[in-house]
């Protein structure tokens, strides 16, 4: 074999390699369909819709399966699912940790959402009137009617409230926990606010209540709900080969960061029965700046710059 022929073959091989894999963007053809799982919580439905809309703008074909937490974890382990944006820590920690310890799924760092919380709350006028901490609740027993409003029966948050009552923690012995649906609890709180009556209830963020009502979270409940007002974080989970098999799609998923304010505002139309995809597109058109960080280093499915493609897709 002549030196010229050898050089020609080497050059052809290099050209073929670049034709198949331009830079770090090379992906298996299966990556065009990004398989999300939605655990059915409104915040996760909303963020999954956001990510899916952006993937569509990049030329991918995202698909979402709605499944419970155990089924979603099994799907990630078996590689029938690529991505979950919904690992709520510490609420789901006992369910998720065995999979992480066995290295059968991947958890991305840092979390896609920080600053979430869940603890007792009051309307701002009640806070200003002196109900600022858990220890203040019992001092206002008469105005509160000796009542704390929780959510649906069987919830872990309700169990924590009931335990405070049963053990007379913070002097709450004799208080009554009213258990109701989330919607029912919020209707009661909204009525109290219209009438300017004090009310103590279980509040959490992200949730539209944080922008629909002026509320304050109570300090001093670390022993019950955890530090920093029952702080929680939300992590992205992937199956074990997604990031290496689909480096471009994985880069976008790894870039995703949300804020509680973003989710409060996006959840509002979704909870009012607007299609999640429509709500996501409307949010992105109004807040296109979030795309800059999300799409840093991300290409379209055919290797073009991702940011201008998504902006064009959204009509920006």
DSSP annotation of 218 reads: P
Domain boundaries, the chain: 24-105+239-314, 115-230
Tell me what pLDDT residue 244 has. 96
Mean pLDDT, contiguous 10-residue spans, the chain (316 residues): 43 40 64 96 96 98 96 98 96 95 98 97 98 98 98 91 98 97 94 98 97 97 96 98 97 98 97 97 98 98 97 97
- The domains spanning 24-105+239-314 and 115-230 adopt the same CATH topology: yes
CATH of 115-230 among 3.40.190.100, 3.90.1070.10, 3.40.50.720, 2.130.10.10:
3.40.190.100
pLDDT at position 25 is: 54
pLDDT at 131: 98
pLDDT score for 156 = 87
The pLDDT of residue 1 is: 45
Strands 106-107 and 63-66: unpaired
Q: What is the pLDDT of residue 173?
A: 98
Place of tokens 């956001």: 50
Rg of the chain over all Cα atoms, to the nearest angstrom: 24
Query: In this predicted structure, what is the pLDDT of residue 15?
Result: 42
| Predicted structure pTM score | 0.86
The pLDDT of residue 250: 98
Domain 24-105+239-314 has CATH 3.40.190.10: yes
């Amino acid at each position: 074999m002549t030196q010229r022929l050898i050089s020609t073959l080497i050059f052809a091989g290099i050209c073929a390699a670049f034709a198949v894999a331009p830079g770090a963007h090379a992906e298996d053809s299966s990556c065009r369909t990004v398989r999300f799982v939605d655990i059915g919580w409104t915040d996760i439905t909303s963020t999954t819709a956001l990510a899916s809309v952006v993937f569509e703008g990049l030329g991918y074909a995202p698909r979402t399966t709605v499944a419970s937490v155990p089924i979603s974890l099994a799907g990630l382990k078996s590689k029938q699912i690529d991505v979950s944006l919904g690992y709520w820590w510490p609420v789901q920690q006992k369910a998720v940790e065995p999979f992480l310890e066995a290295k059968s799924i991947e958890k991305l760092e840092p979390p896609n959402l920080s600053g979430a919380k869940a603890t007792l709350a009051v309307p701002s006028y009640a806070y200003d009137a002196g109900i600022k901490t858990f220890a203040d609740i019992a001092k206002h027993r008469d105005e509160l009617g000796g009542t704390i409003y929780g959510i649906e029966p069987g919830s872990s948050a309700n169990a924590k409230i009931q335990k405070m009552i049963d053990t007379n923690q913070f002097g709450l012995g004799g208080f009554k926990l009213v258990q109701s649906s989330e919607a029912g609890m919020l209707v009661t709180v909204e009525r109290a606010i219209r009438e300017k009556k004090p009310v103590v209830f279980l509040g959490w963020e992200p949730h539209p209540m944080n922008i629909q009502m002026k509320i304050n979270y109570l300090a001093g409940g670390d022993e019950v709900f955890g530090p920093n007002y029952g702080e929680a974080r939300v992590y992205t989970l992937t199956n074990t080969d997604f990031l290496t098999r689909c480096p471009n799609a994985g880069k976008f998923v790894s870039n995703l960061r949300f804020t509680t304010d973003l989710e409060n505002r996006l959840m509002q139309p979704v909870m009012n029965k607007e299609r999640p995809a429509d709500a996501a597109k409307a949010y992105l058109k109004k807040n296109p700046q979030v795309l800059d960080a999300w799409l840093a280093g991300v290409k379209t499915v055919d290797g073009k710059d991702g940011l201008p493609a998504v902006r064009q897709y959204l009509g920006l």
